[in-house]
């Protein structure tokens, strides 16, 4: 079985999207393909095992939430 997913995350501006993209890219190499386009990040997940697929998707979402929380707490108000 081959399981595929595309997850699209849109941000308020390209600068914010780039910060999140760079934060997540290090952890995603080899597991998630990601493409930054303006204010949007497109993630592609593919796996032969359902458990691995779900764990990868869960990790991606949890990491994105954490990245946003860190950005909000450490960035100037204009971000």
pLDDT in tens, 32-76: 999 999 999 999 999 999 999 999 999 999 999 999 999 989 877
Alpha helices in the chain (DSSP H): 14-28, 50-74
Residues 6+ apart with CB under 8 A from 69: none
Alpha-carbon torsion, ordered 52, 42, 11, 59, to 10 deg: 10
d(CA 5, CA 56): 11
pLDDT in tens, 17-31: 999 999 998 877 778
Model's pTM, two decimal places?
0.85
Structure tokens at 31: 């597991």
User: Which residue ranges form the domains of the chain, and what is each CATH number?
Assistant: 3-74 (3.30.310.50)
């Amino acid at each position: 079985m081959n399981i595929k997913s595309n997850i699209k995350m849109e941000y308020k501006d390209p600068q914010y999207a780039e910060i999140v993209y760079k934060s997540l890219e290090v952890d995603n190499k080899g597991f998630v393909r990601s493409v930054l386009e303006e204010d949007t990040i497109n993630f592609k997940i593919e796996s032969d095992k359902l458990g691995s697929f779900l764990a990868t998707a869960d990790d991606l979402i949890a990491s994105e939430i954490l990245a946003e929380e860190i950005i909000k707490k450490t960035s100037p108000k204009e971000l």
